[in-house]
Amino acid sequence: MCGIVGYLDLCGNPCDRALLSAMNDQMIHRGPDDEGYYFSDEVGFGFRRLSIIDVGGGHQPLANEDATVWLLFNGEIYNYKELRGELVDRGHTFKTETDSEVIVHLYEEYGMDFLTKLRGMFAIAIWDEVRRMLVLARDLFGIKPLYYTAGSGFLAFASEIKSLLSIPEVSRDIDRESFWNYLTFQYVPEPGTMFQDVKKLPPAHFLVCQDGRWEVKRYDQLAFAPLDMPVNYFVQGTLDVLRTSVRAHMNSDVPRGAFLSSGVDSSAIVALLRELEEVQTFTVGFEGAGGQSELEFAKETARVLGTQHRDTVVSAKTYWDALPRLVYHQDEPVADPSAIALYFVAELASQYVTVVLSGEGADEIFGGYTIYREPLSLRVFDYIPLGVRRTLGGFAELLPYGMKGRGFLLRGSTPLEERFFGNANLFSERDKQEFVRIHPEVERLRRSTDITKVYYDRAANYDPVTKMQFLDLHTWLPGDILMKADKMTMANSLELRVPFLDKEVFRFAAQIPFDYRLSNGTTKNVLREAVRSILPSEVAERKKLGFPVPLRKWLREEFYKPVRELIGGCPLDDLFDKEYVLQMLEEHKSGVRDHARKVWAIVVFVLWYEAFVGNTRVFVPQAPESVKIRRERMYDAVGESHGI
C-alpha cells in the first residue's frame, strides 16, 4: 500500500522535480517506509511506500526489462502468482517477487486488456516511453483512490487531493455543484470533487493521455445475473468463495489483523482467518453510546473465536479534538460520523499490525441494508395508479411531521427512482433551495435524480431491491464506505483489505435471486446461512451496528456549544444561510426534530473549508506516531526470538 503522484507536461517541457517532490511529501503517511522517483523529459513519477510484499525488493517506480514501461502502483493483486507463472511461460523475466512487477509485464503482453486480468484493489499509473503515453486506472469497485487534474499544458494525478493542491495552477475554488450534491448524498458523487479543478477517476475506468489529448473509458462493469438454483447451492457456494477470497487476501510479509464489530460481516472474515492462523482483532466504542456500543458484542465474539482482542473507547472530547485533522485527511468532506470512528480503531490496530482485513462491501453485494426491505413493505402501492399515488403523496405532505403513517404514504407514493439516492438522503431539493445561496449557476445544477439516473437506467431490468444494491455499489460504496476506509486507515499507515469486494465473490453473489437475499425476515440471508457453520447463531443473526457514534446525544450536549460557535463564525454567508443551520441545531437540542445528520454535514464542510480553502487550520504532513510504536514492538519481538 502506498501513495502515487505524477505530472505530465503536455507541451513537452521537462517536469519540475522540486514540484513533484513537494507533491509526494504531502502523502508521507501513506508510505513512511520508502520513496522513489522517475523522470523522463516531460513526465515525472513519485512514490511513497508502505512495505507489504517483498519488503526488500518492492521499490517503485518500477520498469520492465528494457526500461520502456514504467509503473506506479497502489494496492494489492491477489492473483499475481498465477499471472506471474503465465508470464514466465511467455518469456518474461522478473527481477523482484512483487505483485507490482506482474502489472508491468501484463501491460507489455496484453495492452489495455491487462486490467480485466487483475484480481485485487489498485490505482495504477503507467508511462509507455515508446508511445509517449500515460495510462491511469482504478479497480473494479473503487477500493483505492485516484484523483487527477488537467490544466493549461499539464495533466497530474495523485492518490490524495492534497498532493495536487501543491501545484500552483490548481485552484482551491469550491465546486458549487459538488456542494449542492454533497448536501444530499453526504459525500461528493464521482467523478466530481469539492474542488473545481480536481476530478476522481471512477471505478472500473482508465484514462489514456497521448499527444496532448486525454480521454476516460470504462474497462469493466458490475452486473447482476440471478440463477434459478436451490438456495442451498448459494449457501454453500458463498462459504466456499469467501473462504478462497480470505485466503487470497492474507498474502503479506508483515503482521496482519482484522477489524471486529458486532455484525456478521467482520465476524465471518475473522472466523475464516482463524481457520488458518492466530488472529489479532480490534474494535472501538464511544462514551455515551449506551446499548448501541460495539464493545461487549465484539469482546464476546472474539472470546468465542479465540482471537487476541484489543479495543479502545473514545470520549466526545477526544473525538471533537481530532475531528479537524481527520477531515483534513479525508481530502473532501464526508459527513459520515463512522468515518472518524474508523480512524480510532485504525490507530489502535496500526500499533500492532500493518495489514487489517475488514467487512466492507458485504451489505451492497449480499443485500444487507435494512432499507433494501422497503420495496417489499410498499408492494401494496404497486396496484395503485401513479396519479392516485401522487395525490396520496400530496396529502401526506400536509400531515404533521412525525404523525403515524405519514412517512409510509410519502415513500409509497414516490417512485423508487425519486426516493432512493443511497444510504444517505440528507437534504431534499426543496430543503437546499431554502438555505443554499442562489447563484446564476444554480439553475444549471444537476438534481439528485440526475446523478442517480444513469445507474437506474443501467439497472432498468432489475427488480427494485437489486436496483437499490446496484445504485449503492456505484455511489455509496466508493463515495462513502471505501473513501473513509482508505483515508482513515492510510492516515495511520495501515493497509486495509476487503475480502467481500473481490471480483470472484461478486460474480457468485450476483447470481443470488433477490428473494433469497431478503428472506426469513432478515437481510443478506444467504450470507447469514452460509456462515452458520463457522459462527455462533447469535452472531450470524445479530443486527449490524457498524461502530456507532452517539452523534445525536453529543450534538445536544458536548458538541452543542462548539458547533454553534463553528457555524456562527464561519465566513460562508455567500454559500448558505447560517441562521437556517443554527435553527436546525436549536431544534435538535430541544428535541423538536432530529437534525443530527444534517447539522453534521455542515460541520464537516466548514472544517473542510477551514483546512483547504480558508487556510485557518494548517496541518503538516507527517508519518503517524503509531508507525514508530509498531516498529518498536516488531523489533522487540525479533529481539526476544533471538535472545537479545
The answer to whether the peptide bond before residue 548 is cis (omega within 30 degrees of 0) is no
Per-residue pLDDT reduced to its tens digit, 102-150: 999 999 999 999 999 999 999 999 999 999 999 999 999 999 999 999 9
**Per-domain residue ranges for the chain?**
2-218, 231-369+474-547, 372-472
Which pLDDT score is estimated for 642? 39
Rg of the chain over Cα atoms, rounded to whole angstroms, equals: 24
Which pLDDT score is estimated for 302? 93
- The CATH number for 231-369+474-547, chosen from 3.40.50.620, 3.10.129.10, 3.20.20.120, 3.10.450.50, is 3.40.50.620
pTM of the model: 0.94
For the sheet with 34-40, list strands across it.
Answer: 34-40, 43-49, 2-9, 154-158, 147-151, 199-200
d(CA 429, CA 421): 12
Among 255, 252, 271, residue whose Cα is nearest residue 263: 271
Among 19, 39, 504, residue whose Cα is nearest residue 241: 504
598 three-state secondary structure: helix
Which pLDDT score is estimated for 441? 59
CATH classification code of 2-218: 3.60.20.10
d(CA 193, CA 465): 29
Q: Identical fold at 2-218 and 231-369+474-547? A: no
Which pLDDT score is estimated for 643? 41
Which pLDDT score is estimated for 142? 97
Please identify every stretch of the chain with a pLDDT value under 70, giving residue numbers as ranges: 1, 50-58, 289-293, 393, 396, 438-446, 543-547, 631, 633-644
Buried b (16+ CB within 10 A) or exposed e, 295-333: bebbbebbeebebebbbbebebeebbebbbebbbbbbbb
Contact at 8 Å (CB) between 337 and 186? no
| CB-side neighbour CA atoms (13 Å) of 486 | 28
Among 353, 342, 414, residue whose Cα is nearest residue 378: 414
* Per annotation, catalytic residue among 2, 15, 209, 570: 2
| Known catalytic membership, residue 2 | yes
